[in-house]
Structure 1
Amino acid sequence: MSVKKGIYIINGAERVVMSEYEKDTLASVLRRIGLTSVKVGCGTGQCGTCTVLVNGDPVRACIKKFRDIPEHTRIETLEGIGTASHLHPLQQAWIAYGGVQCGFCTPGFIMSAKGLLDKNLSPTREEVRDWFTKHNNLCRCTGYKPLVDAVMAAAALMRGEISEKNLEFTVAEGGSIYHTRYPRPDALYKVLGTADYGDDLALKMPPGTLHMGVKWADHHHANILSIDTSEAEKAAGVAAVLTYKDIQGTNNLGAPMTSKMSLAKRVKEPVLCDTKVRRIGEPIALVVADTDENARAAAKLVKVEYEVLPFYKNILESFKPGAVSIDGEAPNDLLRQPVFKGANTQAIFEKANDPDSGVYVVEGSFYSSRQPHLMLEPWSLQAYYDEDGMLTVNYKSQTLWAGMVNVPRAIGVSPKAFRIIEIPSGASFGASMDHHAVAMIAAAEMVVKRPITWTQTYEETQRFTGKRATSYTNAKLACDKSGKILALDFDNAIDHGANANSAGNLEKKVVRFIGYPYNIPNIRGLSRGGLSNEPFGVAYRAYGSPQCYTSSEQLIDMMAEKLGIDPLEIRYLNCAKEGDLTNNSYPFKNYGIKTMINKLRPYYNESLEWAKQPAEAGWKRGVGVACGGYHVSTPADRSEIDIELLPDGSVVQYNCWEAMGQGASIGTLVHMHEALKPLGLPVEKIKLYQNDTKFCPPTGPASGSRSHYMAGNATILAANDLMNAMRKPDGTYRTYDEMVAEGIPTKYHGEFSTVGLYKAIDDFTGVGDPTPDNNLLAIIARVEVNEETGKTRVLAIHGIADVGVIGNFLAVEGQAYGSMMHSIGFALTEDYCDEVKKYGSPLGCGFPRCNDVPDDIEFEFQETPRKTGPHGSGGASECFQSCGHAAVLNAINNAVGVRVYEIPATPDKIKAALKAKAEGRSCAPERYDFGEDYNKILDEALERARTEQKHVETAEEIEEEIRSGGH
């Protein structure tokens, strides 16, 4: 090893630096000397999280060899530009404009922006966007708009056009911070670069901490004949090598299949593969060694003998007769979820054969892609035994207490001796609902009993983690001549990939959201679930609904075109109104969609006029519209929090409201401040202790738009109990000392539950009322399509959402803007498969850069107060990512007259469709073949409902009960 010694001007001061001449990058050196604001995300120079300034220019430090940097070079990192008491204008603006969400990309963006403003203090918005695009500064959370807003505000402050007061939020005495733009309480340490994410903690672990490497599966599908670890065990620095034989529990993370329409009781998800591998990237062996380099080198020495089996790229292949069971026991065609509403579906579609019937039908087959979450932080975990002997794992878990159930069983540890701590998390969007990595490192810790740290490369994380499950749908829609929907018929299949991580639950989303939020009086449909050898399906924001809207929102447009009706008008005609029932035969919780469409009309009309104006040569303009939404919580949900009065008069809340960047800290803060308003506590007197299962109760997963609703209601219950205990007979409140002196408890538990209040979706019929609330979105997209190249660019998005009373505008807008970026990627560029060279990096996966997302994104909010919601709020996140992609797809068709049925709508697909159109051919795919006839499955489901259930609830009975005051 050659070592280089040099003197560099780092953050304004001379520092002596020792570096490994051949291997060290600028990022590795800066992080080693303690400047951990420099984050390593992709490791390939594509994401910009590692951006620092070198002699004033932005440099991606993860690919810059340190040996190539001359001595006395000026190097600036985020640690050098501001302090907590004297922030740089960019840091102030990032807080004020909601530029901080997960915060992992924040240091790179701020340093890149500083490089711009040091050269040009009066940039235009376009110049800022071009700068971020040129320098590959990527963000998956914000949709970029708040970041550009922050740069413009910081520049105005630096030019003296505004003062620091313009970027400060002032709380009036006794005033509320609910329904305001109050900054996130965790924003400060993120803009300072002092937030320690997983790999930052790895550098700060005690001496003697071990590292972990993994032997990954080399084949998509194979039987394992033997595993030889002998060479790995003898390798340098190795402390232990683990295979499935060393797992002390069940070695199975697979959840039981609870649906009565499931064809298997459980599908395997082994902690370490035992008899077979089901996908590239499954773990076979773990190597624990003294360094990361030694652990990785030894993992490569593990030898596996395989019997290669057929590789099923999708369920269209794995469902064919004679296909090998991917699970080894369970069938590949795993489960079914029917839905029935009304009694006339089949008869209506039969009428369409009669030209005089007045029934019009459109139909098609649609595919939605395996969308990668593309969070920029790779998986990074630590495992150790804490001071009380508890096996502890640091992890970016999105559902902490679920991990406390399935991981201990799989690895063989008592849940009472197990602990998960969520550390600052570089986003998730649903990917870390899975606890496979937790089980792996915890199992290794049980063997070596010395602290272990494990950071994956970005490519490893891409291979290892789940994705949005792909979906195939054959569907047809019937309307009368006016455009009124008469019936919907669909056959859907969800490809869960190599395990059944989300099976059952996801199929129930399909039968709820296809055609939502319209009144469809007659429905006959089926959602199937199955296995393939691709990455497993896992939760992803708007879970299940984007797959639905890929088909139903395009069918609505197809019908409008067939009948010569305006696309917005046909939606207005069919939007659910008071008294209409969901797909599942129960009332909607919110009927505001018609009002929302009316509010959209002025912008829609402007958009139609815009589309008539000539675009630049070769480009055609189009306008697309879509409606969607999502549910809030479930019929078996529970959320718990604790609040405690402290000696100094402050109040602390303990909860496991997981913080992925979506706003768990600001949500907790605003709920607490509002609930405790009678006490007159200043914001500074409210403290948060979050996301440690040793001290914080189960608040439930950060998913399903449930957290703000559920944790908020639990907060109100606990706050009322505390204030009742503090209240004296004269109406004033006791102090902490008075409470203690009188023997009154100072800590109170809040628990809010939906159990028993709502009706789960029936396995046989799809009937049910499974949610306390729902949210809604109506959205318009403006696009331009190049007829020669097939490229699409989205130029504007305008939406109206109803999520109830908004607790914090910065948080909700952040979810909205970020979701639009995901939706654009889903529509145009993102589809993951296991071609490692291409899909192991963000840009290879189609990650949209700043200029790929419009700066013209606007959202209005129709704040219908929720009767059961805390402070009138509902839940927000999911609706924003439900249907935006469908608006883009409809806009493409509006622009050039071709429809893309199988997303993403890449340039080659659009060019092929245009060619087919010119030749008079259809570009629509043939009807997908899922094997067993769905009419037979639906008939059997109805028969089982009649024989296995004492009473099958019908839509007519539900309507009658509603009219009589029930339900």
Structure 2
Amino acid sequence: MIAPGLGIAPEKLRLVQNNAGGTFGYKFSPTMEALVGVAAMATERPVFLRYDMKQHITYTGKRSPFFVKMKYGADKTGKINAMEQTFYVDHGPYSEFGDLLTLRGTQFMGSPYGIANVRGAGYTVCTNHAWGSAFRAYGSPQSYMGSEIAIDVLAAKMGVDPFDIREMNCYKASEKSTIPTGFKPDVYCEEELFKLARPKYEEAKKRVTAKNAAAGGKVKYGVGVSLGVYGCGLDGVDSSECWVDLNPDGTVTVRNSWEDHGQGADIGTLTSAHETLRKAGFTPDMIKLDLCDTKHTPNSGPAGGSRSAVMTGNATRLACEKLLENMKKPGGGWRTYAEMKTEGVETHCVGKWVATYCSTNPVDQATSQGEPFSIYMYTIFLPEVAVDTETGKVKVEKFTAVADVGTILNKLAVDGNFYGGLAQGIGLALSEDFEDLKKHTNLMRCGIPYPKDVPDEMEVLYLETPRPEGPYGAAGCGEAPLDAPHPAILNAIFNATGARITRVPAKPEVVLEALKKVH
């Protein structure tokens, strides 16, 4: 986007990524980069652009809200046979990615469950509200606000436990369950995921029951459930590239453009490379990283859609495998740099990974049928909340997540992604807002969660089902913790109080209003 905006060829544009912190998707829509580029071209001098906080908050894109009308149809046992939804996407004044975002609604609403009959329509609407851009778990948080609260409503009406109804309807190989777009998921892991989560859910129910028995009624306690699924990729065919060089001193330099938003691109690259190179005796300290400078690194695609661990991880693996092939001696052992040069063997290797898995059945935008992703991530969310019925204040006291993101290549990085995502989910559920340009344009009042809003007790359990298309069986992980934590929190409020809330944020005044409707 930047190069066409500047009127130059992509190869004439050099991008060097600075340490960015958390951008969480909105960098899919370049903003200040093109402005700085134009200014540099006009002045022929280095240019620096700095926003104040109000400019930063108003100039960056926001997650587009969905307005969803959702219905499930089930038999008397709770088995869901049909789903119908109509939804409208408030995408603000610009159309960028609006069609894809609306398509995501059809991909994710009801997606954790095998539903034989699905009917629905989504509409992208242009408004004079905040401009919509990509944000972490793109399209799924809005989708699950509809489908994960609707299934809770269904469970309550039928007198079925909300955990049980989800387990009953999850993807099953025995039933040949399909995703909403009509094809099989990458793996059938949800049944085992529920088995892993069951003891944690039963423990949580006992805890909140004991707390309610001991409390005087002013504060009520509850546990919520939700199930989220998110795909790894950019919808359809996707690709990435990595370069690897053996150096004269026996070290290896790995080059790619896996952009780091704070999620751990460096350790992701290092782990993907080392897992291959260790076969030749390379240790992590012998692997040098040269990342995200387009003068020295290839185009690895954007760091978004939880794609990088899969696409760039595979590209890195392939480049390292090619280097080992070149280093291998016919009689056994490994060539040195000097031996390879003497023998005319290439020390520079290129790894290109193209995910063609989805090319056979591309998604039809009119019908939403097709295979959008080659790999998925699965998470069960189990938050425990305390609701002050006099003030409406909600506190998440413990958050448990049970996830399957394939083979875990680096647990510290995956844990970090999950803890951060769950914290964001708490903010999304209870406090974050952007409705009032006078009120919500500073850090104190825009609703980001503070440390005191996030529980000390956060527990993440992993089921590791190897992914056939992932590097060493890995999926991505970045967006798995933020696809459906917020409906689980709203479901927990219902479990505690009987008050059903169907929009976010559930600020105290919203909770108090909902409590008035409880009979």
So what's the TM-score if we normalise by structure 2? 0.96
* Partner in structure 2 of residue 761 of structure 1: 363
Asked if the contact 1:635/1:760 (under 8 Å) is kept, the reply is yes
CA distance in 1, matches of 2:422, 2:11: 42
Q: Distance in 1 between matches of 2:426 and 2:36?
A: 36
> Helix, strand or coil: the match of 2:502?
coil
2: CA distance, partners of 1:833 / 1:901: 17
Q: Distance in 1 between matches of 2:378 and 2:9?
A: 43
For 1:620, the equivalent position in structure 2 comes to 220
Of residues 504, 519, 531 in structure 1, which corresponds to 2:114?
A: 519
Letter aligned with residue 120 of structure 2: G
SS for the counterpart of 1:419 is coil
The answer as to 2:184 corresponding to 1:583 is no
Distance 2:83 2:237 in 1: 29
Which residue does 1:221 correspond to in 2? Answer: none
CA contact (8 A) 1:715 1:750 kept: yes
Q: What residue in structure 1 maps to residue 193 of structure 2?
A: 596
Q: Is 1:713 aligned to residue 310 of structure 2?
A: no
In structure 2, distance between residues paired with 1:752 and 1:810: 26
**Residue 411 of structure 1: aligned partner:** 6
In structure 2, the residue matched to 1:790 is 392
- Please name the residue that 2:49 is paired with: 454
Indicate yes or no: 2:468 matched with 1:867: yes
How far off is 1:410 after superposition? Answer: 1.7
Q: Is the 8 A contact 1:796 1:854 kept in 2?
A: yes
Aligned residue in 1 for 2:286: 685
CA–CA distance in structure 2, aligned partners of residues 629 and 495 of structure 1: 23
* CA distance in structure 2 between the aligned counterparts of 1:624 and 1:678, rounded to whole angstroms: 46
Task: Letter of the 1:596 partner, please give it.
Answer: L
Deviation at 1:909, TM superposition (A): 1.1
The reply to whether residue 882 of structure 1 matches residue 483 of structure 2 is yes
In the alignment, the residues of structure 2 paired with residue 801 and residue 558 of structure 1 have an alpha-carbon distance, to the nearest angstrom, of 24
SS at match of 2:49: strand
> 1:558 matched to which residue of 2?
153
**Could you tell me how far apart the structure 2 residues matched to 1:601 and 1:736 are?**
54
**1:583-662 counterparts in 2 under 5 A?**
583-613=180-210, 614=212, 616-617=215-216, 618-633=218-233, 634-662=235-263
CA contact 1:637–1:753 (8 Å) conserved in 2: yes
Distance 1:443 1:880 in 2: 38
Q: Which amino acid aligns with 2:100?
A: N
1:852 equivalenced with 2:446 (yes/no): no
Does residue 1:774 correspond to 2:376, yes or no? Answer: yes
Tell me, in whole angstroms, the C-alpha distance in 1 between the residues paired with 2:165 and 2:103: 27
Q: CA deviation at 1:839?
A: 1.8
How far did 1:916 drift? 2.9
- Closer, same or farther: CA 418–834 of 1 in aligned 2, 3 Å: farther
Highest RCO, 1 vs 2 (Cα 8 Å, sep ≥ 6): 2
Structure 2: stretches of 5+ with no match in the other structure: none
833, 840, 843: which one aligns with 2:444: 843
Per-residue Cα deviation, 1:438-478 (whole angstroms, up to 9, x for no partner): 11111111111111111111211101000111111011111
Residue of 686, 691, 696 corresponding to 2:297: 696
Query: Within 1, Cα distance between the matches of 2:228 and 2:369?
Result: 20
Q: Is the 8 A contact 1:534 1:834 kept in 2?
A: no
Q: 2:21 maps to which residue? A: 426
Q: C-alpha offsets along residues 682-713 of structure 1, whole Å, 9 cap, x if unaligned? A: 21110000001121111111111110111121
Question: Could you tell me how far apart the structure 1 residues matched to 2:334 and 2:82 are?
Answer: 60
Match of residue 434, structure 2, among 825, 829, 832:
832
Q: Which amino acid aligns with 2:242?
A: I
Deviation at 1:833, TM superposition (A): 2.9
Give 3-state SS (helix, strand or coil) of 1:559's partner. Answer: helix
Between the aligned partners of 1:413 and 1:771, the Cα distance in structure 2 is 32
Preserved CA contact (<8 Å) 1:493 1:529:
yes
Task: Report if aligned partners of 1:779, 1:884 keep a CA contact under 8 Å in 2.
Answer: yes
Aligned partner letter, 1:816 = F
Is the 1:476–1:555 Cα contact (8 Å) retained in structure 2?
A: yes
**Shift in Å, 1:798:** 0.9
Deviations 1:43-68 (A, max 9, x none): xxxxxxxxxxxxxxxxxxxxxxxxxx
Cα separation, 2, equivalents of 1:775 and 1:567: 21
SS at match of 2:479: helix
Percent identical across equivalent pairs?
A: 38
Give the match for residue 164 of structure 2. Answer: 569
Q: Does 1:494 align with 2:79?
A: no
How many Å separate the matches in 2 of 1:451 and 1:850? 38
Select the residue among 325, 330, 340 that pairs with 1:739.
Answer: 340
Supply the distance in 2 between the matched residues of 1:589 and 1:662 (Cα, whole angstroms). Answer: 24
* Contact 1:586–1:769, Cα closer than 8 Å, also in 2: yes
- CA distance in 2 between counterparts of 1:642 and 1:537 reads 35
Which residue pairs with 1:814 in the alignment? 416
- Which AA in structure 2 matches 1:630? Y
Letter of the 2:322 partner, please give it: D
Q: In terms of Rg, which structure is larger?
A: 1
Structure-2 separation of matches of 1:616 and 1:627:
30
Q: Deviations over 1:817-850 (max 9, x none)?
A: 11111111111111113524x2222221111111
* Aligned-partner SS, 1:898: coil
C-alpha separation between the residues in 1 aligned to 2:65 and 2:293?
Answer: 34
| CA distance, structure 1, for counterparts of residue 186 and residue 293 of structure 2 | 34
Distance 2:48 2:329 in 1: 52
Amino acid at match of 1:632: C
Q: Tell me the C-alpha RMSD between the 2 structures.
A: 1.3
Q: In the alignment, is residue 528 of structure 1 matched against residue 123 of structure 2?
A: yes
- Among residues 399, 403, 406, which one is paired with 1:804 in the alignment? 406
1:459 & 1:719 partners in 2: Cα distance?
45
* Aligned partners of 2:499 and 2:515 also within 8 Å: yes
Q: CA deviation at 1:516?
A: 1.6
Between the aligned partners of 1:708 and 1:675, the Cα distance in structure 2 is 15
Assess if the C-alpha contact under 8 Å between 1:829 and 1:847 holds in 2: yes
State the Cα distance separating 1:735 from its structure 2 match: 0.9
Cα distance in 1, alignment partners of residues 43 and 15 from structure 2: 19
Give 3-state SS (helix, strand or coil) of 2:121's partner: strand
Contact 2:257 2:300 in 1 (8 A): yes
Q: Distance in 1 between matches of 2:276 and 2:413?
A: 19
Instruction: Output the amino acid matched with 1:832.
Output: F
User: Do the aligned partners of 2:20 and 2:262 also contact (CA within 8 Å) in 1?
Assistant: yes
- 2:433·2:440 contact (CA, 8 Å) conserved in 1? no
Matches within 5 A, 1:657-668: 657-668=258-269
Per-residue CA deviations over 1:875-926 (Å, capped at 9, x if unaligned) read 11111111111110000011111111121111111111222335xxxxxxxx
For the 8 Å contact 2:236–2:363, the answer to whether it is kept is no
The whole-number CA distance in structure 2 between the counterparts of 1:602 and 1:514 is 27
Q: 1:616: Cα distance to partner?
A: 4.2
Code of the residue aligned with 2:432 in structure 1: it is E
Question: For 1:919-938, what aligned pairs fall within 5 Å after superposition?
Answer: none
1:705 and 1:589 map into 2 onto residues whose CA distance is 15
Alignment length (residue pairs):
512
Distance 2:357 2:493 in 1: 45
Cα separation, 1, equivalents of 2:516 and 2:450: 29
Residues 223-274 of structure 1: per-residue CA shift (max 9 Å, x gap): xxxxxxxxxxxxxxxxxxxxxxxxxxxxxxxxxxxxxxxxxxxxxxxxxxxx
Q: Shift in Å at residue 415 of structure 1?
A: 2.4
* Matching residue within 137, 144, 149 for 1:549: 144
Judge conservation of contact 1:473–1:492 (CA < 8 Å) in 2.
yes
Give me the whole-angstrom Cα distance separating, in 2, the residues matched to 1:739 and 1:525. 60
In 1, distance between residues paired with 2:187 and 2:273? 26
Q: How does 1:40-439 map to 2 (within 5 A)?
A: 406-439=1-34
